[in-house]
Amino acid sequence: MEQSTKQKRIFSAVQPSGNLTLGNYLGALKNWADLQDQFECIYCVADLHAITVRQEPAVLRKKSLDTLALYLACGIDPKKATFFLQSHIPEHTQLSWVLGCNTMFGELSRMTQFKDKSQKHADNINAGLFTYPVLMAADILLYQADLVPVGSDQKQHIELTRDIATRFNNSYSPTFTVPEAYILKSSARIMSLAEPERKMSKSDPNANASIFMLDRKDDIIRKFKRAVTDSEAVVAADPARLGIYNLVNIYSSLTGKSAEEIEREFEGKGYGDFKIAVGEACADVLAPVQKEFDLLTRDKAYLDGILREGTEKASCIARKTIQKVYRKVGFYLPNSK
């Protein structure tokens, strides 16, 4: 599949570990359906990345397919976008080794995510956790991606990817497209309901801190009722009041209402009414996604077909890149008959 001269190529990947959250939906998935009409989109379920933390094999397999189903349930069209599982394309690990030999130890030592994950998983600080950013760079560079949708917490990885690509291009002649971070202007940064100074996370051990995309309505409303706020009991979009500011941001993202409209709507009302309204709006938005997800996961043959087709398309690009890289670094490749 040749890269379109009219469309830039976007690459994005998500790990199948944990459960995707409302933050993943509002910050990424909700917007990705729009990207497929503007760009050539390649979406990957990053199952190789997932095993830096010990996984239950049967659960990982199920989560991988569930992640694909959630992408589709959010409106991403497999006729417009390419889907595949990272482990199905061996060129990811092949390129990762070559790039690892062109990445400095000091660069990896400075990665904040390695430090964070090392603290969370102190009993399993493995080499894969340390070299994780190199594999991430390989994921992106393998497909000659122009743009990578990222949140602020991933900017460091994109900068490293750009550094690796530039270093390789300077050493071996232009080989990789040097990607740029693509920040969606309309994407929302959704914070934890329990600790609003931290981003909502699918790996948070406190289940009440995150709204998961497959949570049922009663659970969603219960979690919002327990969300951390303050003693002022005035609904306002005040960044200094992290808890209520986060809820206003969520409600705005779900309904399309401005902060001013929300403040007027709940003027004279307490947090109780507002939290229930946020929960109701969230449940209403996620309900059609959940319904479509349930339908898709009942048709494994359909999902397998999408993966086979996506793997074939992605492999064409990946093989072309790895052959170019192997030739440039000096690996002998026999002439094809």
* Confidence at residue 116, expressed as pLDDT on a 0 to 100 scale: 73
Amino acid letter at 223?
K
* Confidence at residue 4, expressed as pLDDT on a 0 to 100 scale: 43
With CA atoms as reference, report the closest residue to 116 among 79, 87, 157: 157
Residues pairing with 181 in the sheet: 148
Active-site residue, 320 included: no
* Confidence at residue 271, expressed as pLDDT on a 0 to 100 scale: 95
Token pair for 135: 């594999």
The region of weakest confidence among 26-35, 51-60, 273-282 is 26-35
Q: Is 244 exposed, middle or buried (0-12, 13-18, 19+ CB in 10 A)?
A: buried
Mean pLDDT, range 39-62, rounded to an integer = 94
Is residue 58 pLDDT above 80, yes or no? yes
* Confidence at residue 186, expressed as pLDDT on a 0 to 100 scale: 58
Task: List the domains of the chain with CATH numbers.
Answer: 9-183+300-329 (3.40.50.620), 207-294 (1.10.240.10)
Q: Considering only residues 28 and 153, tell me which one the structure prediction assigns the higher pLDDT.
A: 28
Active-site residue, 199 included: yes
Mean pLDDT, range 84-94, rounded to an integer = 98
Instruction: Out of 63, 117, 223, 275, pick the active-site residue.
Output: 117
Strand, coil or helix: what is 217?
helix
pTM: 0.88
Pair type for strands 9-14 and 40-45 = parallel
Whole-number Å distance between alpha carbons of 95 and 103: 12
Percent above pLDDT 90 for the chain: 75
Active-site residue, 202 included: yes
Is residue 111 pLDDT above 70, yes or no? yes
Instruction: Out of 8, 202, 257, 328, pick the active-site residue.
Output: 202
Q: Considering only residues 50 and 116, tell me which one the structure prediction assigns the higher pLDDT.
A: 50
The region of weakest confidence among 6-15, 140-149, 247-256 is 6-15
Residues pairing with 182 in the sheet: 149
Instruction: Out of 30, 63, 199, 223, pick the active-site residue.
Output: 199
Reported as a single tens digit per residue, the pLDDT across 163-187 is 999 999 999 999 999 999 997 765 6
Q: Phi then psi for 14, rounded to 5 degrees?
A: -135, 140
Q: Is 29 exposed, middle or buried (0-12, 13-18, 19+ CB in 10 A)?
A: buried
Whole-number Å distance between alpha carbons of 169 and 158: 16
* Confidence at residue 138, expressed as pLDDT on a 0 to 100 scale: 98
Reported as a single tens digit per residue, the pLDDT across 227-281 is 999 999 899 999 999 999 999 999 999 999 999 999 999 999 989 999 999 999 9
